[in-house]
Amino acid sequence: MSIKNNRLTNEQYDENFSDIHPPFENKEAALVEANRCLFCYDAPCTKSCPTSINVPKFIKQITTENIKGSALTIFNANIFGGGCSRVCPVEKLCEGSCVYNLLHEAPIPIAKLQRYSTEKAIQDKWKLFERKPSNGKRVAVVGAGPAGLSCAHVLSREGIDVTVFEKESKGGGLMTYGIAAYKVTPAFCQDEVDFITSLGGIEIKYDHELGKQFSLQDLQRDFDAVYLGIGVGLANKLSIPGEELQGVEDAIRFIYDIRTRGYGNVPVGDKVIVIGMGMTAIDAATQAKRLGASEVTMVYRRSEAEKNCTQVELDIAKLDGCKMVWLAAPKEVLGEEGKAKALVCDIMKLGAPDYSGKPSPIPTGETITIEADMIIKATGQRPFEDLVGQNQIEHNRGKIIVRDKVSTTIKGVFAGGDCVNGGKEVVDAVQAGKEGAEAIFSYLGLQ
Amino acid sequence: MADISANFLGIKSPNPFWLASAPPTDKKYNVLRAFEAGWGGVVWKTLGSQVKNVSSRYSAVDFNGVRIMGFNNIELISDRPLDINLKEIAECVRLFPDRAMIVSLMADNDRNSWHELIKKVEDTGAHGFELNFGCPHGMTERGMGASVGQDPEIAKMVVEWVMEAATLPVITKLTPNVHSVVPTGKAVVEAGTSALSLINTIQSVTGIDLDTLVPNPYVAGKSVFGGYCGPAVKPIALKMLTTISQDGTTSKVPVSGIGGISTWKDAAEFMLLGATTVQVCTAAMKHGFRIVEDMCEGLNNWMDEKGFATIYDFIGKSVPTITHWEDLDINYHHVAKINQDKCIHCGLCYIACEDTSHQSISLTYGKPYNTYAIKEEECVGCNLCKLICPVENCITMEVRRVDDEYLNWKEFQRRGLPLNDH
């Protein structure tokens, strides 16, 4: 038992990390599904999309072979429409509310159709948007993730010159660094960022981190407004004995490594435990398995009914051979010679609902010990509390407090996405970026 | 088991399903395959003067991803030598003596040509003729096909020539490229035709290629009007058939119905409006001859369910139900009802009624599902919502008679009853 890299051959890695939801192979296949769409009025799918993509319209446009129009319909509402078609948990959003579900029929594969139109647009570099002439206003956006770039795109379309400051060397944020590689490849993320910035008027300064290369005061001085889309940081601490042992990893760091270092260069344990049952936990567990771990066990302190991931995601993990231990809360990491070797969990039962509205897990007094050489923490991400606090931005345990959805307590400084909501879907961040841009227009007297 | 056999002017066939005069019936190979598959009869592809066909010949109208809602052809009559056709017809009759063999004819426009052609075909053992007065392309420029059928006087003259020579039953096929099929129908019945068949194809342009900007079918940068057929033309054919079935003269002769027939249901509808047999082409061209199996079985099952022992128990039964507008009962009123248990909240009924009809459906906002209900007092009972609803029997029409008494428009006016006030 040990943590090591290169457990598999390159061919095995390629197979394990290939596209989990392959696109339509041809036009006819897309048309069969597009023609099934009923073209609902005031459509439930659109209402279930945080960015309100006009789904019936873009699907109708596929059927009339107006793919450019279809792509524009999508990107108008969601400039990350390409990435979202791959990473959105559509089973609880658009596809989950498709009226076909009420007929007990398969819903329209909205994500796959959205990918059909957006992929063509991104691959062929269609110029779908035209920027208004520059109006001289300058806005700084911090973070080139979904919230920041969505905001930047809307701003630039209206003629505002936008400078985006990004601490990493690539744009896309968690889309690029925090999602399972079998959903979106790093190459696609790069293409998507290029597609967004091809509008013009958006300059991204990479390797520029707030609080290091520049300060919020610098931005307030040099720009007419500031939008913070700084996301959230590493995984929450477990605060249990043994957490410092070698082999106890952070899910965000683990996924980041997979996306940046190449599959063979990422060490993975033989027996892996993933703590948590959200989307990130699933991404960590499935990818640990796909990197060659022989056993992956997911532990969650509540029962299956309270899981944060969708059933579709859970099924992916199950099909990958991950085991689930429900009602188990980490109590202590046992080690040997400084290395983790097992996780002791309290066995829980469900009690009255807690602050989250879910039944609270209560220890039964019994414990279970699971052997592991790698333990991955995925119990939610930690906001950048220090950074936010240092800049005198009002916050709640690191989450930026906003009024009217986007305004921080500092005049001219707006915020949105994970740094405000604590960590939701990409599509939520895109919507937050749009709302931020609208607020900035109004602040700058442009509307 | 019902008896689905047909007796058309003494021409017997085990079922009423014939293949229409068209590419599927232009040679022995196809016709034998059709008979083996179970078709009751064929109308052999039109024989007549020498022609040469072009490439391409067909085009189609697709609808919402479904191929060939409508079909169009610019093929002419048989381009094979007459003697080969005659020899093959005789062989088919010999091999399948229980099937109907009708031969479609289109001779040059003179008495002798018709007489000669009829004599040659009678020697084959075929059971009857169908006069092609309907082909809308190619032959019309030579004074044949539709140019005959469009002029009752010319049609009458040609039928008279035919009847001088023919000893077999003669079916005259009518063109739909006229304002009404009745004048020509009457003229040819008066001239002695034994029966009628309708409709032939409808002149059409199926569409234009938006890359080349040339309509289909494409022939070296050009196209021509073609004959339209397939499921899209069925309602037009049914209407024309009804006018023939309701006319005092034309209703005296049997009719073979044609126009977009793809299933036993289509066939039953043609027969309910007066057709004794039906002719099929496009559906066979799309799916092959095997479709006849379900046509026979489906018709048989339906007849059993309805208690019809033979096809003559229902032929023409719906003809009297198509009346004049002035005779409709104004006191009949029905309103739509949405079954909320079946509703899937697609909103299609709402937007259709709201934008294009009578604003008779209410929308109660919900996320993600709105609730839709009928405003009964506003509903005029037009059926639009019911037609649009994707769920079977979710929207039904409930009868709300204004009065028990039958009241037509003339009587309504005579009594000076109030008109709509909105």
**If you count DSSP H runs as helices and E runs as strands, how many of each does chain A have, helices first?**
18, 15
What are phi and psi for residue A66, nearest 5 degrees? -100, 70
- State the nearest Cα–Cα gap between B299 and chain A, in angstroms: 30
Which chain B residues are within 8 Å of A41, Cβ to Cβ?
A: 346-348, 350-351
Residue B135: the pLDDT is 73
Q: How confident is residue B109, by pLDDT bands cut at 50, 70 and 90?
A: confident
- State the nearest Cα–Cα gap between A65 and chain B, in angstroms: 11
- State the nearest Cα–Cα gap between B353 and chain A, in angstroms: 12
Under an 8 A CB cutoff, do B348 and A31 touch? no
Find out whether A175 and A198 touch, Cβ atoms under 8 Å: no
What is the dihedral angle through the alpha carbons of B261, B263, B267, B270, rounded to the nearest 10 degrees? -50
Cα A397 to Cα A209, A250, A276, A385, distances in angstroms = 21, 20, 20, 6
Residue B146: the pLDDT is 79
Tally the C-alpha atoms within 13 A of residue B54's C-alpha that lie toward its C-beta. Answer: 16
Lowest-pLDDT choice from A235-239, B226-230, B286-290, B393-397: A235-239
CATH number of domain containing A48: 1.10.1060.10
Residues of chain A contacting B, Cβ within 8 Å: 31-32, 34-35, 38-45, 47-48, 63, 97, 99-100, 102-103
Residue B147: the pLDDT is 83
Residue A1: the pLDDT is 61
Residue A50: the pLDDT is 98
- A362 and A269 within one domain: yes
User: Could you say which of A57, A92, A123 is where a domain stops?
Assistant: A123
Which chain A residues are within 8 Å of B368, Cβ to Cβ?
A: 44-45, 47-48, 97
What is the dihedral angle through the alpha carbons of B282, B288, B289, B291, rounded to the nearest 10 degrees? -80
Q: Which CATH superfamily is domain B6-321 in?
A: Aldolase class I (3.20.20.70)
Q: Is A424 within the bounds of a domain?
A: yes
Under an 8 A CB cutoff, do A40 and B390 touch? no
Which chain A residues are within 8 Å of B390, Cβ to Cβ?
A: 38
pTM for the whole structure = 0.93
Exposed, middle or buried, B290 (CB in 10 Å: 0-12/13-18/19+)? exposed
CATH number of domain containing A424: 3.50.50.60
Residue ranges making up the domain that contains A226? 138-233+382-443
* CB-based contact, B350 to chain A, within 8 Å: yes
- A270 and A199 within one domain: no
* CB-based contact, B324 to chain A, within 8 Å: no
Under an 8 A CB cutoff, do B368 and A97 touch? yes
- A365 and A331 within one domain: yes
Under an 8 A CB cutoff, do A103 and B391 touch? yes
Per residue in B110-128, pLDDT (tens digit) is 999 999 999 999 999 999 9
User: Token pair for residue A245?
Assistant: 């042992």
Find out whether A171 and A151 touch, Cβ atoms under 8 Å: no
* CB-based contact, B69 to chain A, within 8 Å: no
Look up B389 and say whether it is catalytic. no
Q: Domain residues of chain B, as ranges? A: 6-321, 325-414
Indicate the fold that domain B325-414 takes in CATH: Alpha-Beta Plaits (3.30.70)
User: Could you say which of A377, A395, A422 is where a domain stops?
Assistant: A377
Q: Is A129 within the bounds of a domain?
A: no
Interval B326-353 mean pLDDT: 97
Residue B422: the pLDDT is 65
Strand ranges in A24-175 using DSSP code E only, listed in sequence order: 138-142, 161-165
At B76, is the secondary structure helix, strand, or coil?
coil
Per residue in A266-322, pLDDT (tens digit) is 999 999 999 999 999 999 999 999 999 999 999 999 999 999 999 999 999 999 999
What is the dihedral angle through the alpha carbons of B195, B201, B202, B203, rounded to the nearest 10 degrees? -130
Distance between CA atoms of B273 and B257, rounded to whole angstroms?
9
Per residue in B232-277, pLDDT (tens digit) is 999 999 999 999 999 999 999 999 999 999 999 999 999 999 999 9
- A288 and A226 within one domain: no
Which residue of chain B is at minimal alpha-carbon distance from A38? B346
- A163 and A53 within one domain: no
Q: pLDDT (tens digit, 0 to 9) for every residue of chain A, 447 residues total?
A: 689 999 999 999 999 999 998 999 899 999 999 999 999 999 999 999 999 999 999 999 999 999 999 999 999 999 999 999 999 999 999 999 999 999 999 999 999 999 999 999 999 999 999 999 999 999 999 999 999 999 999 999 999 999 999 999 999 999 999 999 999 988 999 999 999 999 999 999 999 999 999 999 999 999 999 999 999 998 888 999 999 999 999 999 999 999 999 999 999 999 999 999 999 999 999 999 999 999 999 999 999 999 999 999 999 999 999 999 999 999 999 999 999 999 999 999 999 999 889 999 999 999 999 999 999 999 999 999 999 999 999 999 999 999 999 999 999 999 999 999 999 999 999 999 999 999 999 999 997
Residue B141: the pLDDT is 73
Which residue of chain B is at minimal alpha-carbon distance from A99? B344
- A351 and A298 within one domain: yes
Number of domains comprising chain A? 3
Which chain A residues are within 8 Å of B344, Cβ to Cβ?
A: 99-100, 102-103
Catalytic residue (choose from B135, B343, B349, B379): B135
User: Could you say which of A340, A357, A377 is where a domain stops?
Assistant: A377
* CB-based contact, B390 to chain A, within 8 Å: yes
